[in-house]
Chains A and B, each alone.
Chain A
Amino acid sequence: MKLEGSFPVSAPRPVVWEAIRDPGLMAQCVPGCEMAEQIDDTSYRARVLVKFGPISARFNLVIEIEQEIALEEVRSRARGEEGTRASTVSSTNILTLSEPEPGTTLVAWSTDFSISGRLGKYGMGLMRKKVESLSAEFVKAFAARLEESAA
């Protein structure tokens, strides 16, 4: 399933660049993220709780940075599974930053995402809505964090 979006943040590009590479800050913005840490130069580990109706699935994710152009683009790949292995997720992601006007950074993202196992039962139509609302939550939290640290 492919999804994409973009959102502006009232912060200069270097600030946004630092933020997206800061696992502590990202953990506070990703909905359901309980922990995130850097493993080495190009990989991170995170634990994310996804709730869908009566199902709560806790994913252990490994995120690998595959390619990085400073201040401009990050390509990454994420894989994860639940402890019980009832579900797996994987995604390839591209994030690009641009500064259409000084002090405003446009963050554009796209992801190609798949999920199998118990959350897969809800079907892709619904998953798409869920990913959309989670990303809207992320955008709100992320923009708020950056704007408050800029202020």
Chain B
Amino acid sequence: MSFVVAPQTVDEAIAFLAANPDARPMAGGASLVAMKNARLIEASHFVSLARIEALRGIGPSAAGGLRIGGMMHHRQIAECADLTGGWQMLRQAAGLIANRVVRNMGTIGGAIANADPAADYLPVLACAGAEVELVGPDGLRRLAVADYLVDWYETALEPGEIVTAIELPAGGDGPSVYRKLARTPGDYATVSVACAREGAGPDSSVRVAVGACGPAPIRDRDAEAALAGRLHDPAAIAAFCATLAEQADPIDDVRGSAAYRLKLIPRMVAAAIRDVTGDR
């Protein structure tokens, strides 16, 4: 038997979690309720974050970028008109999650806490250079996605800590794109790629992150630097794609074999780069 409590502030939620070590935060319940019903997890209490005003909203961050509250639903992110240019990919990713029901229930904070390696936000946030904001009994910290994701399904979240927000740095003009290959629409990705263009001139570059092919998205800033100014050079692009594929550590699962994923990576990365350069 579990009880649901619904604190009004982050501090109250943190205090409740600290006092009840077997309690769990609950966002929209999209995954949690299914896991509970399947008796995969148990909890003394579910601490619903739904009433906490501070976890809502999408707006400017103190650092001059964008701040997205942890309780923002996928649908709200998919419909947010401010997500253009370099942030467009985030909108696209949110709109490709699961189906309408899950997009109405599920939240960005819940998806990030769950840290499914195939989750659509993760490569986008890695590509954007986003930080995950965590608040717990010891205060607030912000971690880059690469530091937040520790291993397969393992994050830096400490017991009693919650994801309060995601902060994106200024996005640039883009364009940016999110490409998802899934067995059927609404399934988790077999492979996904987020790609954003930096600058418009001859020496412009791209940021690229590959999802669902390892415990965390794959991003290689050195390879991105080497590709700068060569976005129309097929040999340079092929080398870049090969470098990312080499860093992948995919698994065999129902969505595809590891070997299949390794084959998809170069094609999808090259296609995403063409999307943002306009080459065909």
Given contacts A53-B153, A54-B114, contact A126 B251 (CB under 8 A): yes
B39 touches A118 (CB 8 A): yes
A123 at the interface (CB under 8 A from B): yes
B39 touches A55 (CB 8 A): no
Chain A proximity of B86: nearest CB distance (Å): 31
B215 touches A125 (CB 8 A): no
**Which B residues are in CB contact (< 8 Å) with A42?**
none
Size category of the B interface is 20 to 34
From B38, B215, B253, A123 is in contact (CB under 8 Å) with B253
List the count of A-B residue pairs having beta carbons below 8 Å apart.
43
Which of A14-22, A100-108, A128-136, A142-150 is the contact stretch? A128-136
Taking CB as reference atom, which chain B residue is nearest A124?
B252
Chain A proximity of B165: nearest CB distance (Å): 21
Q: Which of B80-138 contact A (CB under 8 A)?
A: 114-116
CA distance A123 to B258 in the complex (A): 14
CA distance A28 to B214 in the complex (A): 29
Chain A proximity of B54: nearest CB distance (Å): 24
B11 at the interface (CB under 8 A from A): no
Size category of the A interface is 10 to 19
Taking CB as reference atom, which chain B residue is nearest A122?
B153
Main secondary structure of the interface of A (DSSP, over half): helix
CA distance A129 to B114 in the complex (A): 18
**Which B residues are in CB contact (< 8 Å) with A39?**
none
A3 at the interface (CB under 8 A from B): no
A129 touches B215 (CB 8 A): yes
B251 touches A53 (CB 8 A): no
A7 at the interface (CB under 8 A from B): no
Given contacts A53-B114, A54-B114, A121-B40, contact A126 B152 (CB under 8 A): yes
Chain B proximity of A120: nearest CB distance (Å): 11
Chain B proximity of A82: nearest CB distance (Å): 11
B41 touches A125 (CB 8 A): no
CA distance A123 to B115 in the complex (A): 16
B254 at the interface (CB under 8 A from A): yes
Chain B proximity of A84: nearest CB distance (Å): 8
Closest 8 CB pairs of A and B: A125-B251, A53-B153, A125-B252, A125-B253, A118-B40, A129-B152, A123-B253, A54-B41
B residues near A (Cβ < 8 Å) are: 24, 31-32, 35, 38-41, 114-116, 151-154, 215, 249, 251-254, 258
Can you list 6 A-B pairs with a CB-CB distance of less than 8 A? A52-B153, A55-B35, A55-B40, A118-B38, A121-B40, A124-B252
Known contacts A55-B41, A133-B151; can you find 6 more A-B pairs with CB under 8 A?
A53-B153, A54-B31, A54-B114, A123-B251, A125-B251, A126-B251
